[in-house]
Structure formats: structure tokens, C-alpha cells
Structure 1
Amino acid sequence: MTDPVWLDGTILPLEKARIAPDDRGLLLGDGLFETMRVASGKVCHPDRHLARLAEGCRTLMLPPPDLSLLQQAMTDLLEASALTNGSLRLTITRGCGPRGVLPTSPVRPTILIRTAPAAQKPSTPVRLGTSRYRKDEKSPLSSVKSLACLPFIMARMEAAASGLDDALLLATTGAVAESTTANILFLMHDTFLTPPLQDGPLPGIARSRLCESGLLRETSVRPEDISSMTAAWLVNALSLTPVISIDSHSLSFSPHADTRLRQFLFPV
């Protein structure tokens, strides 16, 4: 079997997987996802990812997933795919329903799990531009990995059209929130900083681990503060990427600081 997926309890080839035309995830973006790193044939920090998924389900009023079922599903899919290093994405939607916004009861969620091999090349430094799109820090969706990603897609497309690699999103208050696919970390006077959750960033798994370790301190960052920063990185469950510029401000690369972060996040 090549490129298998796990779909609603069955492992099957990708080309045979089918999502129903009336699935609310397809039609309305009504669902959540988690992307997890796979190293040495195992999912990294699955309990953290599944806990965030469960919390997201509570926020969206989705039936809570059977976490033991998902754990076994991920194990079975990794075995079937023979993936050693790469990533695993788990998507859950509210399932099928009639036309209209209001869901009907009972709900039968659709669950899809896919794997992907690791990138062949390490991530290269990126240039960011501040987006005109804002992250609504007061929205309950700011803390979940929703399938409704259009603002991030549009911000990323506009950045690419300007010759940039990614976009930096601000909160409605004007404070720095995150990029389109990652949390942002800053280095200032040998201290690692990141925007607090009240400024709208996703509670990223890598971010939370760094905060709990004491390596990373939460503090609000305004655009005018960026000129005081020495270095910056984008971080998510899969990667740590240096930032070389934000708008007109150039940032240095700190090999020592990069090594500290990398050794903590992705130990060999």
C-alpha cells in the first residue's frame, strides 16, 4: 500500500479516500486540525496535541474525540506508512449535514489522518512583512487550529506577491500576534520573548514547551519595539526558522541562541 491514510477507522490508499460532498469541513471549514512531528517512527508530544484538539472541540461544541482511538489510529498509520521522520496531520470535521449553517443532531464527525515525509532541506531564513489582516485576540477561534484559514492564506499570498516569505499578523490592539503558520520568538538582550496569549497567538506546542522550561518569556511586542530586537524566529511543531527581516528592520542571526532553541525543541 502506497501513501496510506486513516479515514474514519479504515486505513486505505490515498487515491481511494473519499470525503462526502456534504461534509461540513469541506463546505464550511467546520472543523479542526493538528499537525505533529514524527521522529524515529513516533509522534512527538501526542498528549499535548490531542489535549489541544480536545479543547478545540469543546470550543467548537464538537463531540469530544476518543483520544485512545486517535492514539491507536496514529500508531497504526505510522506502521502502515513506514514513516520514520516527517509529520502527521489529524483533521476532524463536524461531518455531514444538510444545507445551512446550523448543525443538526446527532453529529458524526469525520476524522482523517495523513502522513508526510520530512523536508529534504533545512528551513532557510525568511523575510516578513506586516499584514493588513489582523488576528482577533478576543475571538474564541484565536486559540484553536480551525480549518477556517482564509485570513492566513490571503496574508501569505499578499506577502508572496510582495517578494516576502511570510506575513506578520498583529492583534486588533496593534500588538504583534504571530505569522501565518507559526509563533514568533524574539531575542532581546539575551532574553527570548514571545507575545502572550492575550495578544492573539495560537497556543503552540513548541511555544508552550519553551515557556514551561523557562527559556521563553511572554511580553507584548509592538511594531515599534521590533527595532530593539536582535534576532527572531518562527517556531511550530515541525520547525524553527530564523527571521532575517521584518518590514524595513534587518535582524541578525545568533548561532548560539539558535542552537539553544534547536537543542531544546528537536533533540537528536
Structure 2
Amino acid sequence: MPGFAAKVQHMNPSQFIWLNGRLQSLEEARLSPLDHGLLVGDGVFETLVARGGRPFAAREHYARLQRSCDVTGLHCISEEVFEESMREVMAANGLVDARVRVTLTSGDGPLGSDRGAGRGTVLVVATPLKPWPPTENVQLAPWTRNSRGALAGVKSVSYGENVRALMYAKERGCGEALVVNESNQLCEGTGSNVFVVLEGRLLTPPLSSGCLAGITRQLVLEACVKEGIVCLEEDLPAVVLEECEEAFLTSSTRDVHPIAGLNGRSLKAPGPVTLAVQQAFARQYGLG
């Protein structure tokens, strides 16, 4: 694309996206008003962090995207397209460290729950990677996650419940909300998994709680095994939030993020166990 690199230098980051097979400027990009991702939230996505121009844990994210497509019956892109589209959109926007989102929807459909016959929409967007504060304040939301729902554990674009829960937390001065499942067991955050330290034991809800199989969650579990840190997946009643000594969040953008405030209760952040996990995660994956 002649002169493209020079043109990008004079534009703000995130001026280009990758849509259905090609780079497009925000001005020219168009999504159909009949796309079911918009109309009924029929789609899946992955959010990755890129550092030094390289998406972190791309293979694991692609495997989860495939699983989400299998569960929802959506057509998945190839791993080659997954990786190439991310590289192209980061380069087009001049981004080295970035937050990258790959979204797949079922494409155009009727005004109802039936799907159309097309192959769907593929959208890839990259934005500058912004740091989180050193610690987070978290609030338990009053709504429940259905651990046996059709989309339980799926990275679905149907994020309305998460949006509402996060609003609830932010109205109370917090940056993340936690939810329990229908059995009043701790489940997850709106965009994160949660770990707690109770009587010196490191614990996290199992996937059977209905939580997302977070990529960073899994990498943390693997790092703990390699570094000799015992972490157990256990059903955790909501009362654990009133009793735990430490807690932290994990996600692709947060890594291991200490919780300093939990439902208005102050916690040491990072506590000794959280700090050990942060260090183990950084050592195992070359971060920091």
C-alpha cells in the first residue's frame, strides 16, 4: 500500500480496523444494521494484550475462540487469519503495546432469533494499552450468573449483564464487580477471574461455577504449579468475601491485579501470597 506507513504516522492511534478480510479506516468501515451481533448479541470475541508487537498467549486465545464457536455454532476463522489480522491492525495503527480485540458474529439475520445464512462478520480492533492502577477496589453485584446457561463459560458479545454489574460497582467507587452464581457461590468479575486467600490457602472458583475459562487464570494456575505455590479450585460461598485475607483479579489486561478494597473492606494489597503469585507469573512468562 504505497505511502501507507507515512500516512499512519500523521494519524492518531486506532484509526484503522480490520473488517471482513481487509484493513479499513474508521471513516470507511461499515457494519450492517442487520448484523446479529448488534441486534441480538449473537457473537463471540477474544481480547488479547500485545507487548513489543507480539500478542501474548495467542495460541491459547485462539483455542478458546474455537471453543466458543463450537458452543455457539458460529463459523471460526483460521488461526492464520486470527494472527495475521492482529499483526496488520497493530501495524496500521503504529501500535507496539496494544489491547487487541477479535470479534466474530453470525452476520446479517432476520429481526428475531433465527440466524441468516451468511458466514458472518469478523472485526479486529487494536487500541493503545493503558495501565491499570496498582490495586483495585471491587464490589459484589446483587445479580447472579447462571452456571448452567447456554452461554456459561463462553466469551460472548452478550455482555449486557456485565455492563450493568460494572455500572453498579462504579457507582460505589469501584473499578470491578464480582458476581455469584445461582447457588450463591463466588463466580467471577465482569471482565476478570478472582482468587482469594483464606486462612493462608490460595483458592479460586472452579469452571463449574459458571466462570469464564480465563486465559490468564489458567496461566496463573500453571505458574503456581511450576513455582510450588498451592492453589486449589473450590466452590466458594459468597461469605468468603467477608473472611478472606487477600484477593486478586486476573485477566489479559490486568495480569495479576491485587484487590485493596472488597465490599468496602480494606485488604493488604498486595499481600504476601498475592505478591508471590505476581512474581511467579512474571518469571514464568517473561513479564516485568
Instruction: Structure 1 unaligned segments of length 5 or more: list them.
Output: none
Question: How far apart are residue 45 of structure 1 and its match?
Answer: 0.6
The letter for the 1-side match of 2:129 is A
Partner AA of 1:247 in structure 2 = N
Q: Which amino acid aligns with 2:100?
A: L
Computed over aligned residues only, the root mean square deviation of the Cα atoms, in angstroms, reads 1.8
Where do 1:68-217 residues align within 5 Å?
Answer: 68-105=80-117, 107-119=118-130, 121-213=131-223, 214=225, 215=229, 216-217=231-232
Cα distance in 2, alignment partners of residues 115 and 8 from structure 1: 15
Identical pairs, percent: 26
The partner residue of 1:48 within 60, 65, 70 is 60
Between the aligned partners of 2:159 and 2:151, the Cα distance in structure 1 is: 11
Q: What 5-or-longer segments of structure 2 have no aligned partner?
A: 1-7
Q: Which residue of 1 aligns with 2:235?
A: 220
Q: How many angstroms apart in 2 are the aligned matches of 1:58 and 1:112? A: 19
State TM-score, norm by structure 1: 0.92
Out of 224-233 and 164-173, give the one that drifted further: 224-233
**Residue 190 of structure 1: how far off its partner (Å):** 4.1
Q: Which moved more, 1:75-84 or 1:167-176?
A: 75-84
The amino acid across from 1:232 in the alignment is A
Shift of 1:233: 0.9
The answer to whether the aligner puts 1:263 opposite 2:279 as a matched pair is yes
User: Size of the alignment, in residue pairs?
Assistant: 266
Pairwise CA distance, 1:189: 4.3
* More displaced 10-residue stretch of structure 1: 199-208 or 131-140: 131-140
Aligned residue among 51, 65, 70 for 2:77: 65
Match of residue 245, structure 1, among 258, 261, 272: 261
Q: TM-score, normalised by structure 2?
A: 0.86
* Distance change in 2, residues 1:259/1:130 (3 Å): closer
Structure 1 residues 162, 228: closer, same or farther in 2, change over 3 A? closer
1:28 paired to 2:40:
yes
CA contact (8 A) 2:90 2:98 kept: no
The answer as to 2:30 corresponding to 1:14 is no
Deviations 1:30-51 (A, max 9, x none): 1011100101110001110011
